[in-house]
């Protein structure tokens, strides 16, 4: 069998089953009633045929006694032609045929009536003709199936009408029943499909009127609730892991990998619209001394304070990251002019004038040396820009702690600034 064969729906299967059951039930009931009616009509027809035979008996009695064939034929024809009789014969005491009447055939319908009569009625009916208690002859009658045929035809019409009505009623009732079964199942299937394909776990199955289907929907909703909670937990865990993978756990700043990825995108965007980008490389001037003198907890406090102060001096779209140890990097994108980078570097250096509180009610002063590299003058790739800014930072540190230095391009002279 082909795997692509269309499968029947539950609605079509149940509807077809209801229709078949209804038609079979109506057909059996109709056929049974028709058979019972035929049996009853057969008894009635045979009884009526005996009454007809008695009536003919009384009428032709005198003609039989006087052996008057013409009178017997006339009397026989007069009665038989108006009754359900196909053939009537009168015999004398010696068994000689005295009179005979046969209903004329009028076509196919007449032959069918005779066949029905032969099949269902007692054939033939024979009664003696009595006069003063003595037999003077006999009469033989063959019944006619006209009334039986009419009954059978009316029964067939009744069966067809009942079948049509039962089909309509079964269709109407099955629709009402199917709506109570298939509609809740379709809703459940829709929600299940959305949960599987779209991971839409916040949808719920509406309540159903049928208890079993309502219980199924309630259990499915409970399962969706658990899956939604588990999905939220996983998303939260993933977000936490993603944040931990791209951020420094101590300062909460992005790490080197995050900074380099952001720098790559900024350079691509700047190359398309012909803009400038600046990278600032920051390094603490006294961090090792603070660590050695006050301990690692004090060093951590200094790093957190530096991160907060640097972040406070930047524009909304700028980025500061901790590269490692006491090294930080700042991304300024877009940069309208080189003086903007120098101005921000001055603000960062000035923010370090305030003492940094340490654990144990101690304060310490530190400063930052900053190297500045600008795209495209000092490099066109993230690596060259970071190396240029790093080199400028070391040059600023050698010249004077707490100063800034702009990287050297191929021709211009380096710009060195110190805080007085």
User: Could you give the residue numbers annotated as active site?
Assistant: 326
- Sequence-separated (6 or more) residues with CB below 8 Å from residue 195: 201, 203, 224, 227
Give 7's DSSP letter.
P
Give 404's DSSP letter.
E
CB 405 within 8 A of CB 395: yes
Beta strands in 144-187 (DSSP E): none
Cβ–Cβ contacts within 10 Å for residue 216, how many? 16
Closest CA to 324 of 378, 251, 393: 251
Taking each helix axis from N to C end, the angle separating 296-312 and 338-351, rounded to the nearest 10 degrees, works out to 140
CA 145 distance to own-chain centroid: 61
134 - beta bridge partners? 131
Tell me how far apart the alpha carbons of residues 319 and 304 are, in angstroms, rounded to a whole number: 16
Closest CA to 27 of 152, 150, 155, 140: 155
């Amino acid at each position: 069998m082909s795997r692509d064969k269309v499968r029947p729906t539950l609605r079509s299967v149940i509807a077809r089953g209801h229709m078949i059951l209804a038609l079979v039930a109506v057909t059996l009931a109709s056929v049974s009633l028709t058979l019972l009616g035929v049996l009853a009509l057969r008894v009635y027809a045979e009884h009526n045929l005996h009454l007809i035979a008695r009536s003919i008996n009384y009428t032709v009695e005198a003609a039989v006694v006087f052996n008057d064939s013409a009178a017997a034929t006339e009397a026989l024809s007069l009665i038989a032609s108006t009754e359900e009789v196909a053939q009537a014969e009168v015999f004398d005491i010696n068994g000689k045929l005295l009179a005979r009447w046969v209903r004329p055939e009028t076509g196919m319908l007449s032959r069918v009536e005779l066949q029905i009569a032969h099949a269902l009625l007692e054939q033939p009916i024979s009664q003696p003709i009595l006069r003063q208690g003595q037999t003077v002859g006999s009469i033989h009658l063959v019944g006619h199936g006209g009334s039986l045929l009419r009954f059978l035809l009316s029964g067939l019409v009744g069966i067809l009408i009942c079948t049509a009505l039962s089909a309509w009623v079964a269709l109407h009732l099955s629709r009402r029943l199917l709506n109570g079964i298939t509609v809740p199942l379709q809703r459940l299937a829709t929600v299940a499909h959305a949960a599987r394909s779209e991971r839409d776990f916040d949808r719920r199955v509406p309540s159903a009127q049928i208890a079993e289907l309502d219980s199924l929907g309630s259990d499915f909703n409970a399962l969706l609730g658990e899956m939604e909670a588990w999905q939220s937990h996983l998303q939260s865990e993933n977000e936490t892991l993603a944040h931990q993978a791209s951020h420094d756990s101590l300062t909460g700043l992005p790490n080197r990998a995050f900074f380099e990825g952001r720098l790559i995108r900024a350079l691509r965007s700047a190359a398309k619209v012909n803009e400038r980008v600046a990278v600032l490389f920051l390094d603490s001037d006294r961090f090792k001394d603070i660590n050695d003198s006050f301990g690692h907890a004090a060093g951590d406090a200094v790093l957190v304070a530096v991160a907060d102060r640097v972040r406070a001096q930047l524009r909304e779209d700028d980025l500061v990251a901790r590269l490692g140890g006491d090294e930080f990097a700042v991304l300024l994108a877009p940069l309208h002019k080189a003086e903007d980078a120098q101005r921000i570097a001055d603000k960062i250096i000035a923010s370090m004038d305030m003492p940094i509180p340490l654990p144990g009610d101690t304060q310490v002063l530190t400063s930052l040396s900053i190297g500045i590299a600008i795209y495209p003058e000092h490099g066109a790739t993230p690596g060259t820009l970071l190396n240029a800014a790093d080199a400028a930072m070391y040059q600023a540190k050698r010249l004077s702690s707490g100063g800034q230095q702009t990287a050297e391009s191929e021709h211009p002279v380096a710009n060195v600034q110190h805080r007085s």
